[in-house]
Structure 1
């Protein structure tokens, strides 16, 4: 899908406020309501807009601990990778999981209420996944920056 300047404006607005009404969005980007709605639908249908979400403040709900976990597997073959990914897919504390290049195979971001909850996650879940050769944990001391809006300036380059 080729995105134009209006699409970029729509996406910027939706990233900042997914609850914006179509009328407000249309006014913000300089369209009438019907064409704006059609563009939003086209962005959704094309998979550009994957879903809408509320961003909840972790500390307020008792999840202040962010742990970045590097995992190394014994072998980097397809079935081992798939088994590892499947084992983590339904773990609620795993917020992000990336297959990596470099020194380790996966990087996870895990959110937990405290050190004991992280220890339980490691001992009862992570270490029980077959094929793990190594686990290294780094605890975030402070969140310096967190964004949910993707940069869109390159779309029109």
Structure 2
């Protein structure tokens, strides 16, 4: 977390970079109303402070054969260190698993999985997920359509 609050320019830089991480510094500077050098310094500071933790390519999963997204809620048998570590390690080793979130409420984890269809999902369940020790129960929902995916929204900034 940053030691200082973000100002309007920092928020605008983050919003633009979250939409286009490959924008040139010159174009970014023009978009936020700065000259290139101060803009570059702000981006570097945001990186050094850990506000910007990296840059990624957004991959079209359908073109790679994994067009279906399934959200899986999981309840574990126990919550001791061994079960939690084994579960976390197993999730890291499964390429179909895109995200794993520890949650509050009835379920312990929410897992986002990419597969090529229902048969591939059944195979994932049988050969991978259900073989993970410590899982007591799971519930799955296929995503029909994603209405919004963002990494940053400046209106959520505290301050």
Provide the TM-score with structure 2 as the length reference: 0.90
How much is the aligned-residue C-alpha RMSD, in angstroms? 1.5
Note the 1:50-61 alignment, pairs <5 A.
Answer: 50-61=53-64
Q: State whether structure 2 residue 135 is matched by structure 1 residue 132.
A: yes
Tell me, yes or no, if the aligned pair for 1:73 and 1:134 is still in contact at 8 Å.
yes
Comparing 120-129 and 57-66, the one that deviates more: 57-66
The correspondence for 1:106, drawn from 109, 117, 122, is 109
Cα distance, 1:121–1:48 mapped onto 2, change above 3 Å: same
3-state DSSP class of the match of 2:61? Answer: coil
Shift of 1:123: 1.3
Shift of 1:58: 2.3
Cα distance, 1:154–1:113 mapped onto 2, change above 3 Å: closer
Tell me, yes or no, if the aligned pair for 2:73 and 2:109 is still in contact at 8 Å.
yes
Tell me, yes or no, if the aligned pair for 2:13 and 2:32 is still in contact at 8 Å.
yes
Q: State whether structure 2 residue 157 is matched by structure 1 residue 155.
A: yes
The correspondence for 1:146, drawn from 145, 148, 152, is 148
Shift of 1:118: 1.2
3-state DSSP class of the match of 2:114? Answer: strand
Tell me, yes or no, if the aligned pair for 1:5 and 1:156 is still in contact at 8 Å.
no
Comparing 12-21 and 51-60, the one that deviates more: 51-60
- Partner Cα separation in structure 2 for residue 36 and residue 147 of structure 1: 26
Q: State whether structure 2 residue 75 is matched by structure 1 residue 72.
A: yes
**2:94 aligned residue:** 91
**1:25 aligned residue:** 28
Count of residue pairs brought into register by the alignment = 156
Tell me, yes or no, if the aligned pair for 2:83 and 2:134 is still in contact at 8 Å.
yes
Unmatched segments (≥5 aa) in structure 1: none
- Partner Cα separation in structure 2 for residue 115 and residue 122 of structure 1: 10
Q: State whether structure 2 residue 122 is matched by structure 1 residue 119.
A: yes
Tell me, yes or no, if the aligned pair for 2:68 and 2:115 is still in contact at 8 Å.
yes
Provide the TM-score with structure 1 as the length reference: 0.91
Tell me, yes or no, if the aligned pair for 1:15 and 1:149 is still in contact at 8 Å.
yes
Tell me, yes or no, if the aligned pair for 2:14 and 2:152 is still in contact at 8 Å.
no
- Partner Cα separation in structure 2 for residue 101 and residue 28 of structure 1: 40
